[in-house]
Amino acid sequence: MENTVITVAGKGGVGKTSISAAIVRELVKSYPESRILAIDADPAGGLATALDVETKLTIDDIRKAITASGEGNRQKKRAIELLGEVRFRVIDAMTEKDGFAFIAVGRPEAAGCYCSINAYLKEVISMFSEGFDYVVIDGEAGIEQINRRVMEKVTHLFLVTDPSKKGTQVIQTIKKVADELVMYKKLGIIVNRFNDETLKKYINTGNIPVLAYIPDDKELALFDAQGKNVMELPDDSKLVLGVRKALEALEII
């Protein structure tokens, strides 16, 4: 059976990391015997905290280590060649938790774009995704990783927005780019922080189906303040119920 690769994308600040963590939570609970990998592909980080994972080594740490170990004296190698050399280091960078494995892209220190680290990330997704039944990728905000085909091999694309016009414009742009560059099978929208039914008529999602409307979850805010994580949320929390509805709509669970 083909594995399931889920990418969560959207504008910054709409809650996609919490939703990514909740997706991992639901997969772990629904498929306890399956191999599940969570990838924090957002250089800003956050998924590790949401899942209560201590990250000791990131993909970018590996890149820096290999380029600093004398490789800089040679002609610069392509990302895929370097990644081949550090395959086992990437495996070592994975953190094992109850029910899932985790790896983070890290935050490059150099100024400018994330082109190099995105090239590595693309190969990591391609190289290791096949070894897992379910892969959940918390992508960086905006369209950069989609545009650079980092998320090229994705089966399901979750587009997250809030009720704002800017948020819905971003996900429509992501969808347009994904249609050209991503080999996804199914996609849909999660409208997060939706607290007023009267706003529905103003939310323009184009022809993209809305999988779930999720109101602000005060329980999640309380958990954040207490230092708890999304995996500990009760089954009836608003976030969990909304994410489960979205997963059911795309026939993932």
pLDDT in tens, 160-198: 999 999 999 999 999 999 998 888 999 999 999 999 999
**Where do the H-state alpha helices sit in the chain?**
16-30, 47-51, 59-67, 79-85, 87-93, 115-128, 144-147, 165-181, 218-226, 238-249
What is the C-alpha separation between 110 and 61, in angstroms, rounded? 13
Query: 138 or 227: which carries more pLDDT confidence?
Result: 138
Which of 65-69, 168-172, 186-190, 241-245 shows the lowest per-residue confidence on average (mean pLDDT)? 65-69
The residue among 96 and 108 whose pLDDT is bigger is: 96
pLDDT at 114 over 60: no
Say what the pLDDT of residue 73 is. Answer: 45
Which tokens in the block code for residue 178? Answer: 């994904």
Q: Which two tokens stand for residue 235?
A: 């089954």
Percent of the chain with pLDDT over 70: 79
Q: Which residue has the tokens 């050209």?
A: 180
Domains in the chain and their CATH numbers? 7-249 (3.40.50.300)
Phi-psi map region of 13: left, alpha, beta (phi>0 left; psi -120 to 50 alpha): left
Per-residue pLDDT of 42-59, as tens digits, reads: 877 799 999 999 888 887
Question: Under a CB-based contact definition with an 8 Å cutoff, are residues 185 and 6 in contact?
Answer: no
Confidence of residue 218 (pLDDT cuts 50, 70, 90): confident
Contact 230/16 with Cβ under 8 angstroms?
Answer: no
Task: Find out whether 193 and 46 touch, Cβ atoms under 8 Å.
Answer: no
- Whether the per-residue pLDDT at 18 is higher than 90: the answer is yes
Q: What is the pLDDT of residue 247?
A: 98
> Is the per-residue pLDDT at 75 higher than 60?
no
pLDDT confidence of residue 253:
96
> With bands split at pLDDT 50, 70 and 90, how would you rate the model's confidence at 151?
low
Distance, CA of 165 to CA of 145 (rounded, Å): 22
**Geometric angle at alpha carbon 146, from 144 and 152, rounded to 5°:** 145
> Which pLDDT score is estimated for 84?
59
Q: pLDDT at residue 132 above 90?
A: yes
Res 138 pLDDT > 70: yes
Computed over every residue of the chain, the mean pLDDT equals 84
Which of the pair, 93 or 33, is modelled with greater confidence? 33
What single string gives the DSSP state of each residue in 51-113?
A: HT------HHHHHHHHHTTTGGGSPPPPHHHHHHHTHHHHHHHPEEETTEEEEE-----SSS-
For residue 240, which of 226, 229, 225, 227 has the smallest C-alpha distance? 229
**Using CA atoms, how far apart are residues 133 and 37, in angstroms rounded to an integer?**
8
Residues 236, 185, 239: CA angle, nearest 5 degrees: 15
Mean pLDDT of 94-100: 92
